[in-house]
Amino acid sequence: MLGRYLFRRACAAVITLFGVSVLIFLIARIIPGDPARIALGDTATLEQIAQFRKTLRLDDPLPVQYLTYMQGVIKGDLGISIYTGGAVLEDLQRTFPATLELVMVSAMLMIIIGIPLGTLAGRYRDSFIDNFTRLFSLIGVVTPGFVWAVFLLLVFAYWLEILPVTGRLSEGIPPPPHITGLFLIDSAFAGQWATFKDAFLHIIMPGISLSLASIGQTTRMTRANVGESYDRTYIEFARAYGFNEFRIAAKYALRPAMIPTLTILGLDIAIKFGGAFLIETVYAWPGMARYGVRVILHKDLNAIVGVVVIIGFFFVLINLIVDMIVAFVDPRIRLGSRAR
Amino acid sequence: MILVTRFFGSRGWYKFSRNKLSVFGLILVVAFVSVAILAPFITPFPRHAGAFVDFLNASKPPSARNWLGTDLVGRDVLTRVVFGYRVSLQLSVIVLSIAVPLGVIPGLIAGYFGGWWEMIIMRIVDVFLSIPSLVLALAIMGLVKPTLTNAMIAIACMWWPWYTRLLFNITRSIRNEGYVTAAEVVGASHWHILIKEILPNCVPSLLTKMTLDMSFVILLAAGLGFLGLGVQPPTPELGSMIADGANYLPNLSWIPISAGVAILIAVLGFNLVGDGLRDYFGVDV
């Protein structure tokens, strides 16, 4: 039963990915105006444009163009970027780890702050901590990440001067040896603690700006769901047994509340790849999202399609992983009963 | 007015206003809308909303003359923030008035007919929802001319699937209710059932989601503007004002702060009212 459920989810994910590739391909091709003209600008000569149309195979019928493109994708070839002059796949490989590191740090913040805070607020509803939490999460949700980014930059980098302004590392500090591409992990592995500290200082502000909205969201979600569990009789039962508050919270209140929260968490992590477009721009973070903004501004078709397809891929992948985790956590799915 | 009394009832205001935060939100929303509409009459320097230079007063911090300071070419920031509200309001209203019908109709069809309709429509919705709206809107804006109209079309194209999914879920859950079956039995057309029987039951959820979405569309548009892919200068737009100011940090800090707080106020208002409506109607969106 579980196997069949996961198989169905995986098939749906593959179909969705296929759709994503068709959608972005269509957007890039059918938008009014000649893509070659758009990419080369108004100063290009007719021959240049004809040549360019040939390299992009723009004169083939659309389905043929799509199939040619997908053939390349399967072989790991996303085409050449006009903006950098290199292969799109290499550009993405180079820039992706920075974005992944940022998204992971922000996802960690979201989980280690959002869930405990939400649980506390759900346990002590209408108390001081609950009101504080609601205000905090509301402010997080309504302030866009890039506004936080600019505010934090102003306060901590310019006024207080305690955090570095932009980038991933300070000048003069060599990047750690490439293992995962995530500087925090690589430098810790290599034992380069000075680099680790520098990378850590650099990721604080971007990480916080990217996570505040989702911390708010997670806190609200957890509060609502935990609050609901505390109204159930099994909590009273656990109290009657004399279990301590922590055990009741972790084992009896939080666990059933985790199932709806997990789904939202997955969605929030996936959305961070979009939010990173703004945050990376503010902090000149050399990641995939900033690359994405650049190629969009340069109307670099292959690179735009590449970035969007990769983001779609991770979105679908993260949701699939979350579905699997939920399936394992939720005995109703794991044991295959249809009681819901 | 009929709509208001029908969905809010005679004691509607009493029930809604019991939550003080919702009332606060409503005050913010009313302020936002009226300021945006009355912009040319209430701002101190209406001419500063366009291409205007006054280098004598350039880059001045907040003062008695310019409450929120002036920008690089001497335009009053307060005036531009208020006119920025006008752009935000216009944009979010038009985006929703395109996206809502575009999303509602397929949602009704998928939920009511099920089968192949559901398969095809909901798969397409999944595809759209698996790319962050900002990214897709950015990609479109990168390929077309960045004008207000194009920004509205790009955002609306990204927004309809949320309404399709919402309407699909509601329609599917009420599809087998007695009154729907009754209408079918007396021979009502599908059109009649969808519009007269099912749609009215979706209105509370729709209203709530639209109120919340006003804030998210404002945010998305500001994000586009911030990256230089939204409404172009000299039109005042809150996102691009933040970007302009951020380029000169730590100087001119009053520009990003004013524009940022302005976005916050508008978004906070619609969010609080949306939350209030959610509790009021008891819907889950």
- The H-or-E segment that residue A109 falls in is helix A88-123
Residues A3-39 pLDDT 10s: 787 888 888 888 888 898 888 888 877 766 666 776 6
Q: Please judge whether B139 and A28 are an interchain contact, meaning their C-beta atoms are less than 8 angstroms apart.
A: yes
The model's confidence at residue A291, banded by pLDDT at 50, 70 and 90, is very high
Among A32-41, A229-238, A259-268, B266-275, the minimum mean pLDDT is found in A32-41
Q: Please judge whether B123 and A293 are an interchain contact, meaning their C-beta atoms are less than 8 angstroms apart.
A: no
Q: Quick check: A311 contacting B, CB < 8 Å? A: yes
Question: DSSP 3-state helix, strand, coil percentages of chain A (rounded to 5)?
Answer: 75, 0, 25
Asked whether the bond before A331 is cis by omega within 30 degrees of 0, the reply is no
- Measured distance CA(B119)–CA(B123) in Å, rounded: 6
Residues in chain B closer than 8 A to A223 (CB atoms): none
For CA atoms B235, B268, A257, B166, the dihedral sign is negative
Which of A147, A151, A153, A212 to mutate against chain B (most B CBs within 10 Å)? A147
The tokens 């939010």 sit on which residue? A275
pLDDT of residue B158: 86
Look at residue B9 and tell me if it is in a domain: no
Please compute the mean of the pLDDT values over residues A268-290 and round it to a whole number: 90
Helical packing angle, B199-226 and A254-283, nearest 10°: 30
Residues A244-258 pLDDT 10s: 888 888 888 888 888
Nearest to A165 by CA among A155, A175, A174, A173: A155
Residues in chain A closer than 8 A to B134 (CB atoms): 274-275, 277-278
- Measured distance CA(A294)–CA(A318) in Å, rounded: 25
Look at residue B31 and tell me if it is in a domain: no
Q: Quick check: A283 contacting B, CB < 8 Å? A: no
Residues of B with CB under 8 A from a CB of A: 123-124, 126-128, 130-136, 138-144, 215, 219, 222-223, 226-229, 239, 242, 245-246, 249-250, 253, 256-257, 260, 263-264, 267-268, 271-272
β-partners of residue B70 are: B76
pLDDT at A310 over 80: yes
Number of helices followed by number of strands (H, E) in chain A: 15, 0
In percent, how much of chain A has pLDDT > 70? Answer: 94
Kindly state the tokens that stand for A257: 């509340």
Q: Which CATH superfamily is domain A97-286 in?
A: MetI-like (1.10.3720.10)
CB neighbour list of residue A96: distance below 8 Å, 6 or more residues apart: A181, A287, A288, A310
Give the pTM: 0.86
Number of domains into which chain B is organized: 1
- Measured distance CA(A10)–CA(B42) in Å, rounded: 57
pLDDT of residue A143: 85
Query: What's the domain range around B130?
Result: 72-281
pLDDT of residue A207: 93
pLDDT of residue A205: 93
Which of A146, A221, A308 to mutate against chain B (most B CBs within 10 Å)? A146
- Measured distance CA(B282)–CA(B269) in Å, rounded: 20
pLDDT at A278 over 80: yes
| Shortest CA gap B71–chain A (Å) | 17
Start-to-end CA distance of chain A, whole Å, equals 16
List the domain boundaries for chain A: 97-286
Q: State how far the alpha carbon of B239 is from the alpha carbons of A134, A142, B68, B78, B263, in Å.
A: 26, 15, 17, 15, 9
pLDDT of residue B94: 94
Higher pLDDT, A328 or A294: A294
Residues A85-99 pLDDT 10s: 888 899 999 999 999
Look at residue B47 and tell me if it is in a domain: no
Look at residue B34 and tell me if it is in a domain: no
pLDDT at A105 over 80: yes
Strand, coil or helix: A196: helix
Q: State how far the alpha carbon of A320 is from the alpha carbons of A22, A245, A268, A338, B153, in Å.
A: 20, 34, 14, 20, 31
Residues A178-225 pLDDT 10s: 888 888 888 888 888 888 888 899 999 999 999 998 999 899 888 888
Tens digits of pLDDT across chain B (285 residues): 455 656 666 677 888 887 788 889 999 999 999 999 988 888 888 877 777 777 777 777 888 777 888 887 878 888 899 999 999 999 999 999 999 999 999 999 999 998 899 999 999 998 998 888 888 888 888 888 888 888 888 899 889 999 999 999 999 888 888 898 899 899 889 899 998 889 998 999 999 999 999 999 999 999 999 988 888 878 888 988 888 888 887 788 888 899 999 999 999 999 999 988 888 888 877
Candidate from A15, A33, A277 with C-beta closest to B123: A15
- Measured distance CA(A196)–CA(A202) in Å, rounded: 10
CA triplet A249, A250, A252: central angle to 5 degrees?
A: 70
- Measured distance CA(A188)–CA(B24) in Å, rounded: 49
Please compute the mean of the pLDDT values over residues A47-68 and round it to a whole number: 79
In percent, how much of chain A has pLDDT > 90? Answer: 16
- What is the chain B residue with the closest CA to A267? B130
- Measured distance CA(B117)–CA(B164) in Å, rounded: 12
Residues in chain B closer than 8 A to A316 (CB atoms): 130
Nearest to A310 by CA among A263, A269, A267, A270: A270
Which of B24, B119, B138 to mutate against chain A (most A CBs within 10 Å)? B138
- Domain at B160, CATH number: 1.10.3720.10
Strand, coil or helix: B76: strand
DSSP of A63-95, one letter per residue?
HHHHHHHHHHHHTT---B-TTTSSBHHHHHHHH
Helical packing angle, A254-283 and A301-329, nearest 10°: 160
Higher pLDDT, A165 or A206: A206
The tokens 């159930």 sit on which residue? A232
Q: Quick check: A39 contacting B, CB < 8 Å? A: no
Kindly state the tokens that stand for B234: 């000299």
Candidate from B124, B128, B134 with C-beta closest to A277: B134
Asked whether the bond before B234 is cis by omega within 30 degrees of 0, the reply is yes
Helical packing angle, A193-230 and A88-123, nearest 10°: 40
| Eight-class DSSP state of B47 | G
- What is the chain A residue with the closest CA to B262? A143
- Measured distance CA(A333)–CA(A316) in Å, rounded: 20
Q: Quick check: A141 contacting B, CB < 8 Å? A: yes
pLDDT at A234 over 80: yes
The model's confidence at residue A338, banded by pLDDT at 50, 70 and 90, is very low
Nearest to B150 by CA among B257, B229, B61: B229
Q: Quick check: A153 contacting B, CB < 8 Å? A: yes
Look at residue B63 and tell me if it is in a domain: no
Nearest to A225 by CA among A125, A146, A319, A157: A125
Residue-averaged pLDDT of chain A: 84
Asked whether the bond before B132 is cis by omega within 30 degrees of 0, the reply is no
pLDDT of residue B40: 85
- What is the chain A residue with the closest CA to B138? A296
Look at residue B221 and tell me if it is in a domain: yes
- The H-or-E segment that residue B243 falls in is helix B238-247
Burial A85-94 (b: 16+ CB within 10 A, else e): eebbbebbeb
Residues in chain B closer than 8 A to A146 (CB atoms): 222-223, 226, 239, 242
Q: How many CB pairs under 8 A join A and B?
A: 140
| Shortest CA gap A130–chain B (Å) | 15
Candidate from B130, B142, B242 with C-beta closest to A315: B130
Phi-psi region of A125 (alpha: psi -120 to 50; beta: other; left: phi over 0): beta
